[in-house]
Structure 1
Amino acid sequence: MFRLLMCLRWRKWKMRYDIVVVGCGGTGSHYIKELGRLLYGKHYTEGDLRLILVDGDVVEEKNLIRQAFLKQDIGQNKAKVMAEILGQAYGVRAEYCDRYIDSAQDLKKLVREDAVVLLAGCVDNHQCRQSMHDFYEGCQDCIYMDSANEFSVGEVVVGSRIGGMEMYPDRGQYFPEVLKAKGPKRSEESCEALNMSEPQHMLTNQAAAWILLVNTARVLEGEWIGGIFFFDMYKCYCMDRTARREMHEDRGTAEV
């Protein structure tokens, strides 16, 4: 009942959204493209919804294999290119930040204090995830979706905070090693290190993007979300573990 009351409070008073997408590469570019379709025709005013795209990287030829870019985009900043695509194709206005996120303060500067923040993490750098976690922990009202992929499998973790209270945990609780990982900030990584990142199938990126999109649609339709969604593209399944766990807890058992 308490969670229901919190949800109703949020829906009644918090109708201003700041959607922040961190990472416009493999998963992020596909998510952003389809997010443009979702927002097309909904006629949100700038006061109702702001969309901010964040990435300090530039498009390279190798990115064309699994990211939503074209040859003419090579050499340009990824966030800038995606913002232009949304404007030209769908008439959706998007702001962009052509820098990497190295701290929670970097994110705080991008959003309004009185908005519900929908933060979509589409990165493969744990230090950036730590910054997003710290930002999320300090938010009053925030939905934090974070995707992580391997070659054909992955998961999207959705944490939510309403009125300063955490209703669903973010990635840090499911995978605490992420918060303990050491390494350079994204802006300090060498080209050699970046080129050694784990390969991912293009369909895996698109699957993660669709899960992000589904949850975004639910938020914009007034739903209150949270959980962890596992998927395997080669086996063609997606599983929401959190929903099952809560169902068992409601029945008085601790088994999952």
Structure 2
Amino acid sequence: MHNLLDYHNRNGYLPKYKKMHFNMVLIGAGGTGGLLVQRLAKMMFAFENVGTSLILADPDLVELKNLLRQPFISKDVGHHKAEVLARRYGSTYGVKIGYYTASYIENTNQLRDLFSNIDYTVTSGTVIQNVLIGAVDNDFSRGVMNQFFNEEENLVYIDAGIEGVWLPDEEKDISVWTEEELEMSRESGYSGQVVVGLKKNNKVILEPVNGVYPLDVHDAIPPWHNCSLDPYQPQRMIANEFAAMHIAIILNGLFQNFSLDVHYINYNGRTGVSRPILI
């Protein structure tokens, strides 16, 4: 277990810092990110003695197809996902949730601006801890977040990755799929992982996602690309649920004890099995 306050109280005297304020930026407000906001907003409300603030970053609009797997309702269609979730859960629980919908995050300067523009106040004896949460479906965005981790001196970086449902390369109707193709599709899309990276005082304590599951440079398609030009791999809602739950478990440890207990978690939404790699 890593108690983050220990990195700020190593002078041999009584602890100077006794509290933490968590500045959180969540990239992606779709399947995993949207479901996480529901849990996270309630946790921010419940842990009333812990300072928290959150910004959701995602320029995507709610589409009709999103109602099947993501936490939106029909009246949300046509509105920005991040704004809908920030307003809905921020007002419901009375917590600070902002949103950024102007563009996709394509460089580290944008991430730095998001953290610097979070509105918060802290009391003396409080450590401000930035927490970057990635809930994206492409390695381009993960690459930007990984670079940001490398550039920052102090950061918690939590990333969720989900296996997409397998589809044949050829765009053909399911009625003409082979039995093998049907079986491969039925068995796919349930697994995923959540990885925690930790950097304190410019030293990597826990390797981020790229150090555990190296990013695929051949899959580093910018998030603004035209999906119609590339094979689309849908995700299963149960896999998103598991990813959101495991991120919430990690954040619960931060809020409750200012500590991290796991480095990464592998899970399978079909069997319900999770395998954490403890610190």
TM-score (norm 2): 0.78
Change (3 A) 1:204 1:238: same
Structure 2: tracts of 5 or more residues without a match:
10-15, 118-126, 164-188
Deviation per CA, 1:191-235: give whole Å up to 9, x if none: 4147x4312211110010000001011112211345110000111
Partner residue of 2:128? 115
Aligned partner of 1:175 among 213, 217, 239: 213
Tell whether 2:212 aligns with 1:156. no
Q: Which amino acid aligns with 2:201?
A: G
Aligned runs of 1:194-213 on 2, under 5 Å? Answer: 196-213=231-248
Structure 1: tracts of 5 or more residues without a match:
247-256
Tell whether 2:115 aligns with 1:80. no
Q: CA deviation at 1:41?
A: 4.0
Aligned partner of 1:89 among 92, 95, 99: 92
Alignment partners' CA distance in 2, 1:144 and 1:227: 11
Structure with more relative contact order (C-alpha pairs < 8 Å, separation 6 or more): 2
Tell whether 2:53 aligns with 1:55. no
Aligned residue for 1:181, secondary structure, equals: helix
Q: Which amino acid aligns with 2:143?
A: Q
User: Larger Cα Rg: Structure 1 or Structure 2?
Assistant: 2
Report if the CA contact (8 A) 1:16-1:116 is conserved: yes
Count of residues in Structure 1 that have an aligned counterpart in Structure 2 = 236
Q: Which amino acid aligns with 1:97?
A: Y
Aligned residue for 1:143, secondary structure, equals: strand
Partner residue of 1:231? 267
Partner residue of 2:106? 102
Alignment partners' CA distance in 2, 1:223 and 1:60: 38
Partner residue of 1:251? none
Deviation per CA, 1:55-106: give whole Å up to 9, x if none: 0111001001110111000011111011011123211221100021101111
49-58 vs 9-18, greater mean Cα deviation: 9-18
Q: Which amino acid aligns with 2:157?
A: Y
Alignment partners' CA distance in 1, 2:204 and 2:44: 27
The structure with the largest helix share of the pair is 1
Identity %: 26
Partner residue of 2:27? 22
Alignment partners' CA distance in 2, 1:9 and 1:173: 22
Q: CA deviation at 1:39?
A: 1.2
Change (3 A) 1:4 1:39: closer
Change (3 A) 1:41 1:226: closer
Report if the CA contact (8 A) 1:144-1:159 is conserved: yes
Alignment partners' CA distance in 2, 1:206 and 1:112: 30
Q: CA deviation at 1:7?
A: 5.0
Change (3 A) 1:227 1:183: closer
Report if the CA contact (8 A) 1:10-1:162 is conserved: no
